[in-house]
Chain A
Amino acid sequence: MSILFQVLPVALRAMVPVTLCAAGEIVGERAGVVNIGLEGIMTLSAFAAAIGSWGSGNPWLGVMVGLAAGAFIGFLHGVISIYLKGNQIISGVGINLLGLGVVGFGTWALWGAKSPMLDQQFWVPEVPGLGISPFVLLTPALVGLTWWLLHRTALGLRIRAVGENPVAADVVGVPVERVRLLAVVFGGALGGLAGAFLSLDWLHTVSPTLPAGRGFIALANVVFSKLNPFLALLGGFLFGYFDALAIQLASVSGFGGAIPYQFMRMIPYLATLVVVALAIGRARFPAALGQPYRRE
C-alpha cells in the first residue's frame, strides 16, 4: 500500500494543469463564456513555451511566452464568442483542432520529430532546497489570487455581474463585452501557464496530444468545483492523484502484470466520469453562460 504515498510527488505535479486550467475557466464561465478549447490552449502554449525556452536559453522566458500564447488564444476565442456572437463550443473545438495541426506541423518543421525531447538546460529548475516544482507552489497561490479577484475586487463583482445578468450590468454602466473579454483572456493565460508547465517542467517534450485530455478533465473539475477556485484546487489534487496512480501503476505493470498497463491508463478518465456524475446536480452555473450578449 506504500504506493499510495509514493505517488504523492507525482500527484502534486499532475494537480497543476488540471487546477490552473480550471481556475482560469472558472473566471471565464463566471463572466458567461465557456471555453472548451483548453486542451488546444495547453497544446499550443506548451509548444510556444518550448520554442521560447529553446530560442532564448532561459526557461522562465519560455514560461512567459507560453503564458502570452495562452492569453492570445483566449483573446481570439473571446473576440469570436463575444464580439462576433459566435458559437463558443464550435470555436473551442476549432482551437483544439488548431492545436493538433499547428503543433504537429511545427514540431516537424522545427525539430524534424513528432515528439522531440527537450534537453535539461531548457527545463524550469526545481525550487532549491525543497526539490519540488515551482509550479506546485505557484498553483495554490494563483488559486487564492483567482478567488480574491472574483470575490474581493470591484472587477470580480463586474465579472460575476456580466455572467449572471448582462442586461442589468449594462444598465449600470459596466462594459459587458470588455469585462467578458478580460475574463476570457485571463482564463487563456492560466491555460498558457499550464501548457508551459507541461512542456518545460513536467513532461519535457512537445506533441500534438501532450495534455492527453487534461484540458477536458479541467472542464470536469470546473463542474466539480461549483465554480469555486478553492474547490477546484481540491478537485485538481484529486484528479492529479488518480493521474499519478495510473502512471505509477502502469509503469510497474499493475500488480505483477495481472492487469495490463493500458487499463491503468483508463483510471483518470473513468474517475472523472464518476466524480462528475456524482458532483453535478449541486452545481449552479451563471444564468447567461454560453450566450452572446446583444444590446436591445
Chain B
Amino acid sequence: MKQLTQTIFVLILGILVGAVVMAVWGHDPWGSYASLISGALGNLRAFTSTLARSLALVLTGLTFAVGVRAGLFNIGAQGQMLLGAVVALSCSLLPLPLWLRLVAALVLSGLAGMAWALPVAILKLFRGVSEVISTIMLNWVAHWLVFYLVLQKLADPVLGQRTFLVPRGMRFPVIKGELTWALAVSLAVAGFFFWFLWHHAKGYEVRAAGLNPRAATAAGISVRKAMSLALLLGGISAAWAGAIQVLGRFPYAITSDLANLGTLGFDGIAVALIGRNHPLGILAGAFFFGTLATGAAKMGLRGVPIDMIYIVQGVIVMFMAAPEALRLLRWRRPKPRREVSG
C-alpha cells in the first residue's frame, strides 16, 4: 500500500514537471493534458487504440522486470524487440498456410530474441561483462541489422516508406477498433511470468538469486543458471513485443525509419519501474504509458512536440530511483531516531 501511494505520487510529480515544461514553452498545459486524456480515453475507438498501444509495452516491461528479479539490469529489450519484429515480418514469406505462418512467426521471433540474449548471458557469466554494456552494444548492432533488412531486403517494391505488408490471414484477428487478439499474447505472457516467479521452483530460484546471490548459492541454487534463464525468457518476451507490433497493429509492416517500432524496448524500463516489477503492476504501468503515448499524438495536433512524454517518463524514472526523495516532500518529517553509540 505504501508502495502504491509512492508510485502514484511519482506519477503525479512527472505529470507536473511535464506541465511546467509545457508552460515554459508557451503551451497551455492543462488544455494539452485534457486533449491528451480525451485523445487516449475519450471514446471507445480511442480506448481500443490506447489498449493496442500498451500491449507491446507489457512485454518489454516484463523483460526488464524478470531481469531485476534475478538481480540484472537488462536493457536489451530494444534490440530484441527490433529483431523480433523483423523475424515475424519475414515469416510472411514462408510457404505455409497463413495461420501456420502466424504460429511460425511467434516461435521463430521468440527464438531470435533468445539468441540475441544468449551472448549477454555468456559474457556476463563467463567474462564478467556488465549486462548494461553488452545489451546496449547488441541493441545498436540489432538496430543496424534491422535497418539494413528493412531497407534492402523487405522493402515494399512500390511504396518506399515501409516494408511489404503482413498478409491478411496471418495477422492477429481484430477484436474491436484497433485492438487485436495480440491482447491474448500480452496477457498470457504476463500470466506466465506471474505463475513462473511465484508458483514454480525455477522462478523461486530466479528471485532468490536476485534477492541475495550468496544466500542462494549457499542454498544450492545456481545463480548463473537463474540469471541465464531470466535473460533468455526476457529475450522471448521482448521479441514478441516486436512481433505483435507488426502482426497485430496498423500498419502491419515496419516503416523504413523504424518509427512504428520506436523505443518500445526502452519504454519497458519505465513501465517495469512503476509496475514495481510485478506482472499486475506492469499491466497498469503499460496502460499508463500507452495512454500517454496515444494521447500525445492528439496533443501533437495542438503543437506540443510528442517528445514531451519522454520528459515525463525520465522524471518518473529518476524519482523512482530514489524513494527517499519523497520523504523530503512530506510536511511532517519522521522524528530522527536517537542513536546510542557504544
Residues of A within 8 A of B (CB): 36, 40, 76, 80-81, 84-91, 93-105, 108-109, 208, 212-213, 216-217, 219-220, 223, 260, 262-263, 265-266, 269-270, 272-273, 276-277, 280-281
Q: From B147, which residue of chain A is reached at the shortest CB distance?
A: A262
B233 contacts partner chain A, Cβ-Cβ < 8 Å: no
- CB neighbours (8 Å) of B309 from chain A are 101
CB distance from B188 to the nearest CB of A (A): 28
- The residue that A108 contacts in the complex, of B136, B305, B315, with Cβ under 8 A, is B305
CB distance from A205 to the nearest CB of B (A): 16
Is B314 a contact of A100 with CB atoms below 8 Å?
Answer: yes
Q: From A217, which residue of chain B is reached at the shortest CB distance?
A: B137
- The residue that B311 contacts in the complex, of A105, A212, A280, A281, with Cβ under 8 A, is A105
Interface mask (B128-162 → A, CB under 8 Å = 1, otherwise 0): 11101110111111001101100110000000000
Given contacts A105-B305, A208-B307, A213-B139, 12 further A-B contacts (CB under 8 A): A93-B75, A94-B314, A94-B318, A94-B320, A95-B314, A97-B317, A101-B310, A101-B311, A105-B310, A216-B132, A217-B137, A263-B145
B229 contacts partner chain A, Cβ-Cβ < 8 Å: no
Q: How far is the CA of A208 from the CA of B314 in the complex (A)?
A: 13
CB distance from B131 to the nearest CB of A (A): 10
- CB neighbours (8 Å) of B317 from chain A are 90, 93-94, 97
Interface centre among B130, B137, B324 (most CB of A within 10 A): B137
Interface mask (B23-53 → A, CB under 8 Å = 1, otherwise 0): 0010000000000000000000000000000
Lowest 3 A-B CB distances belong to which pairs?
A101-B310, A104-B307, A86-B322
CB distance from B107 to the nearest CB of A (A): 26
Is B314 a contact of A270 with CB atoms below 8 Å?
Answer: no
Interface mask (B302-336 → A, CB under 8 Å = 1, otherwise 0): 00011111111111111111111100100000000
Q: How far is the CA of A90 from the CA of B322 in the complex (A)?
A: 9
CB distance from A68 to the nearest CB of B (A): 19
- CB neighbours (8 Å) of A208 from chain B are 307, 310
- CB neighbours (8 Å) of B133 from chain A are 216, 219-220, 223, 272, 276
B21 contacts partner chain A, Cβ-Cβ < 8 Å: yes
CB distance from A69 to the nearest CB of B (A): 15
Q: How far is the CA of A217 from the CA of B140 in the complex (A)?
A: 11
- CB neighbours (8 Å) of B318 from chain A are 76, 80, 90-91, 94-95, 98
Is B75 a contact of A101 with CB atoms below 8 Å?
Answer: no
Q: How far is the CA of A216 from the CA of B134 in the complex (A)?
A: 9
Is B322 a contact of A105 with CB atoms below 8 Å?
Answer: no
Is B137 a contact of A216 with CB atoms below 8 Å?
Answer: yes
Is B129 a contact of A109 with CB atoms below 8 Å?
Answer: no
Q: How far is the CA of A85 from the CA of B263 in the complex (A)?
A: 29
Is A109 a contact of B310 with CB atoms below 8 Å?
Answer: no
Is B144 a contact of A101 with CB atoms below 8 Å?
Answer: no
B232 contacts partner chain A, Cβ-Cβ < 8 Å: no
- The residue that A101 contacts in the complex, of B73, B119, B312, B325, with Cβ under 8 A, is B312
- The residue that A84 contacts in the complex, of B25, B307, B314, B325, with Cβ under 8 A, is B325
- CB neighbours (8 Å) of A103 from chain B are 307
Is B144 a contact of A105 with CB atoms below 8 Å?
Answer: no
Is A273 a contact of B132 with CB atoms below 8 Å?
Answer: no
Contacts A90-B320, A273-B137 known; A108 to B307 CB distance under 8 Å?
Answer: yes
Q: How far is the CA of A213 from the CA of B311 in the complex (A)?
A: 20
Is B313 a contact of A97 with CB atoms below 8 Å?
Answer: yes
Q: How far is the CA of A50 from the CA of B322 in the complex (A)?
A: 31
Is A100 a contact of B127 with CB atoms below 8 Å?
Answer: no
Is B314 a contact of A86 with CB atoms below 8 Å?
Answer: no
Is A272 a contact of B266 with CB atoms below 8 Å?
Answer: no
Q: Can you list 27 residue pairs at the A/B interface with Cβ under 8 Å?
A: A80-B322, A81-B322, A84-B328, A85-B324, A86-B323, A86-B324, A93-B321, A94-B321, A98-B314, A100-B307, A101-B310, A103-B307, A105-B21, A105-B310, A105-B311, A216-B133, A219-B130, A262-B145, A262-B148, A262-B151, A263-B148, A265-B144, A273-B137, A273-B138, A276-B127, A277-B127, A281-B127
